[in-house]
Amino acid sequence: MTGRGSQRIPSTPRVISPSPTPSDRGDVSGGESSYRGPTTRSSTRRRAGASPQPVTEEPDEDESPDLRRARTRSRSPIDTRQPTRLASRNATKGPKAAESPTNGHVAVKAAETNGHLSPPTPVPSYGWSWRDFSRSPSPLGLIPIHRHWRTFVHKHEVPRKALHVSIGFFVVWLYLSGTQTSAVCPYLMGALVPIAAVDVLRHHYQPFNRFYVKYLGALMRESEFSGYNGVIFYLLGAWTVLYFAPKDVGVMGTLLLSWCDTAASTFGRLYGRYTPRIRRGKSLAGSFAAFVVGVGTSVFFWGWLVPTKGPFPGDENFMFTGSLSLPGIVAEAVGLPAAKATISGALALGVMSLWSGFAASASEVVDIFGWDDNLTIPILSGLGIWGFLKIFG
């Protein structure tokens, strides 16, 4: 309705019906024919719903040329632009924004919907990132066995963790049998190549992917339905540390991968909600569990397995031989003789075990380009132990 003070009221008011004819919905800019009698709000809403009229938005005169002001949602049934916050015009010109040639404003492209009660399909991103190799979170329901065994398979991942831990015991058996790390690497690579090829094949042939996850889904995470299998990174990480590192460092790196990663995942899921979060998906409870298991693994290998069951061929090239010493330059700088700058026995084993636990915990927490932790844990922990023994060994 127009203001009564700005228009002249005719001497004989014209009464209109509650449902106005098309002629009554004319221009309301002024004049005698534009007068309308008092109507209720309900009838006004009915009229607006019966024939919605598009509303033309005029730009503000004081609007800055570098900023776009957030406007309310248009009442036009055609205009579907979403209200946005105050942002730079140049910052919005990307794959999700396009400039209208008519009014110069930036129209934000809405996310496409899939017609189901699920989040809309995100706008695809352009370019490639190292994080494409990581296992991003995925909802429950992609792998059938996860729906039937939600607690045993999906929540606690018992079959997956059992396989994870068993690799460590298999490495201990190989060490006790006198197998050299150089003899294990060809078998690891021989298993890595066909497993990686099958994983690539199932991503290009969906019927085979469904068959694959039907029978091996208990050993997978649901994020691996559309991502790469964690076994690939497990084999690659174990092969790398066993091939390039000395025997004791390679064995320790594989044991830390097998046991510390499992402990961190188990205790992180159980008690991570009660402890501070270090980063996304990593809690203090899980990191502390990896540290404790890393210390215990070092004591088990260097403190009991090697001296009681060995020596085996290749043990003479161990980097840790039961003693640690300060570098000669540091010992001279602090004025310590060579005898006092060296520790051995239980004290050296304790220091070495603490450092191994720290290396395992740190490698489990750190995020490098979003790579899978089955790849980063053995490599980073092996590098940490190798560097420590290179200085103090």
Reduce the secondary structure of the chain to three states and give it as a string: CCCCCCCCCCCCCCCCCCCCCHHHCCCCCCCHHHCCCCCCHHHHHHHHHHCCCCCCCCCCCCCCCCEECCCCCCCCCCCCCCCCCCEECHHHCCCCEEECCCCCCEEECCCECCCCCCCCECCCCCCCCHHHHCCCCCCCCCCHHHHHCHHHHHHCCHHHHHHHHHHHHHHHHHHHCCCCHHHHHHHHHHHHHHHHHHHHHHHHCHHHHHHHHHHHHHHCCHHHHCCCCHHHHHHHHHHHHHHHCCHHHHHHHHHHHHHHHHHHHHHHHHHHHHCCEEECCEEHHHHHHHHHHHHHHHHHHHHHHHHHHCCCCCHHHCCCCCEEECCHHHHHHHCCCCCCCEEEHHHHHHHHHHHHHHHHHHHHHCCCCCCCHHHHHHHHHHHHHHHHHHHHC
What's the pLDDT score for residue 358?
Answer: 96
What's the pLDDT score for residue 217?
Answer: 83
Provide the residue range defining the domain that includes 192: 144-392
22 belongs to a structural domain: no
5 belongs to a structural domain: no
What's the pLDDT score for residue 81?
Answer: 44
- CB burial string 198-232: b at 16+ within 10 A, e below: ebeebeeeeeebeebbeeebbbbbbbbbebbbbbb
108 belongs to a structural domain: no
> How far from 38 is each of 11, 35, 44, 96, 307, CA to CA, in Å?
16, 10, 10, 46, 101
**Structurally, how many domains does the chain consist of?**
1
19 belongs to a structural domain: no
- Residue 271 CB-density burial (10 A; 0-12 exposed, 13-18 middle, 19+ buried): middle
95 belongs to a structural domain: no
258 belongs to a structural domain: yes
Question: Which two structure tokens, joined as six digits, stand for 17?
Answer: 């019906």
66 belongs to a structural domain: no
Asked whether the beta carbons of 298 and 357 are under 8 A apart, the reply is yes
What's the pLDDT score for residue 190?
Answer: 94
379 belongs to a structural domain: yes
What's the pLDDT score for residue 131?
Answer: 41
What's the pLDDT score for residue 313?
Answer: 86
What's the pLDDT score for residue 10?
Answer: 60
Per-residue pLDDT of the chain (393 residues; tens, 9 = 90+): 444 555 666 666 566 555 555 555 444 444 444 455 566 666 666 665 554 444 444 444 343 444 344 334 433 344 444 444 444 444 444 444 444 444 444 444 444 555 555 454 444 444 434 443 334 444 566 777 777 787 778 777 888 889 889 999 999 999 999 999 999 999 999 999 999 999 999 989 888 988 888 888 888 877 777 788 889 999 999 999 999 999 999 999 999 999 999 999 899 988 988 999 988 888 999 999 999 999 999 999 999 999 998 888 888 889 999 999 988 888 888 888 877 888 999 999 999 999 999 999 999 998 888 888 899 999 999 999 999 999 997
What's the pLDDT score for residue 9?
Answer: 62
